[in-house]
């Protein structure tokens, strides 16, 4: 019998070590949603989830609901500036490395009130990169710097077409180069034991960093994905991450099939939710999670 889904506990916290994109005098807000099975049981595995650019925690229901139903504690973040729930800021779309820091911060928030059991990370698109960043993936500062300074072409983002121009107007060239250097920082969180990716962003990742990953990783891509296609985005992970398991979701599956839109492929979403459950049951202390 499946577990009845409860509403998450949603809280907004402020990371004093980072600044808000909207107000540089204020701390960075981090909106955290937690589906907590049993705070008194430290053996229950936790999965921290990161949504795609312009998405939201709510839009990740296809992954979160099956995990919660199967007995996992889920911690999910609405990333500042990149979520329909908390609003858009240009940096939210073009500073993806801050997502990995959000995931660590969210786990720290939860750990204040309970002992964490085994932890896994999961994400979609830019969120899939963020999940990998917690175990060793780093962005390539040369690529990021090239994009910021206009030397490398940057594909327009439908949700924010002028995002690069706005960022270039807001920051000086030295500031942009300093940000590019920061993008390659080590984001490893030693608590994370495994990573599950759907349609991962990989074209701006430092390929050499992927070879340092030492935890199980499973990566899925859509055969008709034109946003993070196999050739440019999933391929770096498949070629460099030791022991990675990679699979195509389906030849006709698109990036937008994971958006909350009417034309989305519901079957693809359901299959990815089931795959996430199988993966984390295998990698986060098999047999200790009971959703029935």
pLDDT per residue as tens digits for the range 13-25: 999 999 999 999 9
Q: Which one, of 241, 81, 62, 90, lies nearest residue 157 by Cα? A: 90
User: Across residues 242-268, what is the average pLDDT?
Assistant: 93
- Arithmetic mean of pLDDT, 28-48: 90
pLDDT of 5 reads: 64
Contact 106, 79 (CB under 8 A): no
Q: How high is the mean pLDDT of the chain?
A: 94
Each residue of 134-154: pLDDT tens digit?
999 999 999 999 999 999 999
- Per-residue pLDDT, averaged over 50-78, amounts to 96
Q: Collapsing DSSP states into helix, strand and coil, what is residue 262?
A: coil
Is the pLDDT assigned to residue 3 strictly greater than 60? Answer: no
Q: What pLDDT score was predicted for residue 2?
A: 43
State percent of the chain over pLDDT 70: 96
Average pLDDT over residues 44-51: 97
Q: How far apart are CA 286 and CA 163, in angstroms?
A: 43
User: Is residue 38 very low, low, confident or very high in pLDDT (cuts 50, 70, 90)?
Assistant: confident
> Percent of the chain, pLDDT > 90?
86
Dihedral sign for Cα 10, 14, 17, 19, please. positive
Q: What is the mean pLDDT of residues 92-110?
A: 97
CA 270 from chain centre, in angstroms, equals 19
Give Cβ neighbours of residue 192 (< 8 Å, ≥ 6 apart). Answer: 48, 119, 120, 121, 131, 134, 135, 215
Q: CB–CB of 4/292 below 8 Å? A: no
pLDDT at residue 289 tops 50? no
* Rounded Cα distance, 241 and 243, in Å: 6
Burial of residue 222 (number of CB atoms within 10 Å: 0-12, 13-18, 19+): buried
CA distance 11 to 65: 19
On the question of pLDDT at 287 being above 70, the answer is no
Q: Please name the CATH architecture into which domain 9-138+192-283 falls.
A: 3-Layer(aba) Sandwich (3.40)
| pLDDT score for 1 | 33
- CA gap 135, 16 in Å, rounded: 24
CA distance 43 to 143: 41
Confidence of residue 290 (pLDDT cuts 50, 70, 90): very low
Torsion of CA 255, 238, 184, 32, to 10 degrees: 50
Name residues whose C-beta falls within 8 Å of residue 28's C-beta, 6 or more positions apart in sequence.
Answer: 14, 15, 18, 19, 20, 21, 80, 98
pLDDT confidence of residue 4 = 53
- Comparing 26-35, 237-246, 255-264, the range with the smallest average pLDDT is 255-264
Local confidence band at 236 (pLDDT 50, 70, 90 cut-offs): very high
Question: Taking 90 as the threshold, does the pLDDT of residue 291 lie above it?
Answer: no
Instruction: Calculate mean pLDDT across residues 70-86.
Output: 96
Residue 218 scores a pLDDT above 90: yes
- Tens digit of pLDDT for each residue in 202-217? 999 999 999 999 999 9
């Amino acid at each position: 019998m499946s577990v009845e889904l409860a509403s998450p506990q949603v809280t907004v916290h402020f990371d004093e070590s980072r600044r808000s994109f909207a107000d540089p005098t204020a701390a960075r807000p981090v909106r955290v949603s937690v589906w907590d099975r049993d705070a008194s049981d430290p053996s229950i595995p936790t999965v921290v989830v990161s949504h795609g650019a312009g998405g939201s925690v709510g839009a990740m229901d296809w992954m979160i609901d099956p995990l919660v139903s199967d007995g996992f504690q889920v911690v999910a973040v609405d990333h500042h500036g990149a979520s329909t729930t908390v609003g858009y800021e240009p940096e939210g779309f073009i500073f993806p490395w801050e997502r990995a820091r959000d995931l660590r911060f969210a786990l720290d928030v939860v750990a204040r009130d309970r002992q964490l059991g085994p932890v896994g990370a999961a994400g979609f698109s830019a969120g899939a990169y963020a999940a990998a960043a917690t175990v060793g993936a780093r962005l390539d500062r040369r690529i990021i710097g090239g994009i910021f300074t206009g030397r490398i072409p940057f594909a327009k983002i439908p949700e924010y077409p002028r995002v690069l121009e706005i960022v270039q107007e807001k920051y000086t060239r030295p500031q942009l180069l300093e940000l590019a250097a920061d993008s390659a920082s080590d984001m490893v969180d030693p608590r994370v034991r495994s990573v599950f990716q759907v349609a991962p962003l990989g074209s701006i990742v430092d390929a050499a960093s992927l070879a340092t990953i030492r935890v199980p990783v499973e990566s899925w891509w859509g055969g008709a994905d034109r946003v993070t296609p196999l050739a440019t985005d999933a391929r770096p992970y498949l070629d460099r991450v030791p022991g990675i398991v990679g699979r195509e979701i389906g030849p006709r599956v698109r990036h937008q099939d994971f958006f909350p839109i009417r034309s989305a492929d519901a079957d693809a979403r359901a299959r990815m939710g089931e795959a996430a459950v199988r993966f984390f049951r295998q990698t986060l202390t098999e047999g200790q999670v009971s959703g029935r």
